[in-house]
C-alpha cells in the first residue's frame, strides 16, 4: 500500500479538484459556446428541428436524402473539391519538404532567421496576397504582358486558363500554404537523431540511400501532419475560389456560402456543412491513428 501511495502521490484534496475545475472552466466554456453550440445548431437545422425563415420546412430527412441518395450536383462538387484539395496538398508537401530539409539538416547557423524570412511575407493581409495574383495572372498582367513582349503570344490573346480556372485556384492555394507546411516538416527533421544518419554513412550508405531508408521514414509523421494541415482546410475553401476561380474554380465551400447568403436555403446549406464536418472528423481520426502508428514504429 505504501508503495502505491509513493508511486501515485498523495490523494488530491477537494480544493485542488476545484482549482483544476476552475482553470478548465474558461476554456471549456469557450469551446462549448463557440464550437459545440454552433455545430449543434447547424446539425439541428439540417434536420429541420430549428426554423428561422417562414420558408423553412418542418423536421424531415428530405434534404439529407436528396444530397446522399439523389443525383445532387453538390456531391459531384464535393468530389471535385476533394480532388483539388488532394492535388494542392500533395504539391505543397513536395515543395515544402526540400525547404524544411534544407533548413533542418543543411543550415547550421541562422536557420531560424531564414525560417522567419520565409514566413515574413505572409504577415500581410491574405486578401491582398490573393488579389495580387489577379494582377500577375490577369489578361494584362505580368505573365501575359511578358509573353506579348517576347512575341510568344499575339497581343490581345491572353492564356485563357491562366485566370479564373481550377489551375489558378490550386496555384494560389499552394502559394498560400507552402511556408506554413514547411514548419511541421522542419520540426520533424530538426528533431532527428543525427547519430542515425552518421551510422548509416559509416555502414556505407550513400546520401540517397540514407535519405530513403532513414530520413524519409523518420520524417513521415511530420509529412503526414503537413498533408492534413493543408487538405482539411482547403476542402471547404471558398474565399480563394471566389476571387480567382470563377465558375471553373467553383468549390464545395462556395456552394455552402451561396446557400446561406444568396439562396437563403439554410437547411440545405446546413446539410452540406454537416457532411463536410463529418468527413473532416473521419479523416482526422484516420490520419491521427496512422501518424500515431508510424511514430511508434519509427
CATH code of the domain containing 193: 1.10.3720.10
* Residue 2, domain member (yes or no): no
pLDDT of residue 5: 45
Of residues 294 and 79, more confidently modeled: 79
Mean pLDDT value across the chain: 83
pLDDT of residue 297: 42
Euclidean distance between CA atoms 274 and 144, whole angstroms? 41
pLDDT of residue 119: 81
C-alpha cell at 4: 502505491
Of residues 288 and 67, more confidently modeled: 67
* Residue 216, domain member (yes or no): yes
DSSP state of 123: G
pLDDT of residue 292: 55
DSSP state of 122: G
Euclidean distance between CA atoms 255 and 78, whole angstroms? 9
- Residue 79's pLDDT band, with cuts at 50, 70 and 90, is very high
pLDDT (average), residues 148-154: 87
* Residue 182, domain member (yes or no): yes
Euclidean distance between CA atoms 272 and 263, whole angstroms? 14
Q: What is the DSSP string of 83-96?
A: HHHHHHHHHHHHHH
Q: How many Cβ atoms are within 10 Å of 116's Cβ, its own excluded? A: 10
Q: How many Cβ atoms are within 10 Å of 256's Cβ, its own excluded? A: 22
Q: Which stretches of the chain are DSSP H helices?
A: 2-8, 14-31, 37-46, 62-68, 73-101, 111-119, 126-137, 142-149, 166-190, 194-202, 207-210, 216-235, 239-240, 252-261, 266-297
- If one counts the domains in the chain, the total is 1
DSSP state of 298: -
Euclidean distance between CA atoms 23 and 45, whole angstroms? 33
pTM here? Answer: 0.82
pLDDT (average), residues 143-149: 89
Residue for grid cell 511541421: 184
Residue 190 phi, psi (nearest 5): -70, -25
- Residue 198's pLDDT band, with cuts at 50, 70 and 90, is confident
pLDDT in tens, 235-264: 989 999 999 988 888 999 999 999 998 888
* Residue 37, domain member (yes or no): no
Indicate whether 271 pLDDT > 50.
yes
* Residue 93, domain member (yes or no): yes
pLDDT in tens, 113-129: 888 888 887 778 888 88
Euclidean distance between CA atoms 280 and 11, whole angstroms? 40
pLDDT of residue 10: 56
Which of helix, strand or coil describes residue 248?
A: coil
- Residue 81's pLDDT band, with cuts at 50, 70 and 90, is very high
* Residue 264, domain member (yes or no): yes
Q: Range of 84's domain?
A: 61-297
Euclidean distance between CA atoms 145 and 149, whole angstroms? 6
C-alpha cell at 78: 464535393
Asked if 136 and 142 count as a contact pair (C-beta separation under 8 A), the reply is yes
pLDDT (average), residues 288-292: 65
Euclidean distance between CA atoms 293 and 298, whole angstroms? 9
* Residue 184, domain member (yes or no): yes
* Residue 40, domain member (yes or no): no
pLDDT of residue 3: 44
Amino acid at each position: 500500500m505504501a508503495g502505491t501511495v509513493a508511486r501515485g502521490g498523495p490523494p488530491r484534496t477537494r480544493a485542488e479538484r476545484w482549482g483544476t475545475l476552475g482553470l478548465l472552466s474558461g476554456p471549456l466554456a469557450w469551446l462549448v459556446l463557440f464550437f459545440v453550440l454552433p455545430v449543434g445548431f447547424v446539425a439541428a437545422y439540417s434536420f429541420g428541428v430549428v426554423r428561422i425563415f417562414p420558408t423553412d420546412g418542418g423536421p424531415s430527412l428530405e434534404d439529407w436524402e436528396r444530397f446522399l441518395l439523389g443525383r445532387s450536383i453538390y456531391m459531384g462538387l464535393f468530389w471535385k473539391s476533394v480532388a483539388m484539395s488532394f492535388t494542392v496538398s500533395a504539391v505543397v508537401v513536395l515543395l515544402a519538404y526540400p525547404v524544411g530539409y534544407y533548413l533542418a539538416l543543411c543550415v547550421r547557423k541562422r536557420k531560424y532567421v531564414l525560417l522567419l524570412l520565409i514566413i515574413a511575407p505572409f504577415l500581410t493581409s491574405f486578401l491582398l496576397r490573393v488579389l495580387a495574383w489577379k494582377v500577375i495572372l490577369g489578361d494584362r498582367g505580368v505573365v501575359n504582358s511578358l509573353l506579348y513582349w517576347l512575341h510568344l503570344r499575339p497581343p490581345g490573346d491572353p492564356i485563357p486558363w491562366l485566370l479564373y480556372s481550377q489551375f489558378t485556384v490550386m496555384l494560389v492555394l499552394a502559394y498560400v500554404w507552402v511556408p506554413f507546411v514547411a514548419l511541421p516538416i522542419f520540426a520533424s527533421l530538426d528533431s532527428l537523431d543525427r547519430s542515425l544518419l552518421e551510422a548509416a554513412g559509416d555502414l556505407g550508405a550513400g546520401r540517397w540511400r540514407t535519405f530513403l531508408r532513414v530520413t524519409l521514414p523518420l520524417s513521415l509523421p511530420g509529412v503526414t501532419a503537413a498533408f492534413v494541415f493543408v487538405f482539411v482546410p482547403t476542402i471547404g475553401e471558398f474565399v480563394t475560389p471566389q476571387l480567382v476561380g470563377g465558375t471553373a474554380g467553383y468549390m464545395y465551400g462556395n456552394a455552402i456560402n451561396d446557400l446561406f447568403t444568396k439562396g437563403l436555403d439554410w437547411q440545405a446549406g446546413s446539410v452540406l456543412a454537416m457532411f463536410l464536418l463529418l468527413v473532416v472528423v473521419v479523416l482526422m481520426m484516420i490520419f491521427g491513428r496512422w501518424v500515431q502508428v508510424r511514430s511508434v514504429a519509427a
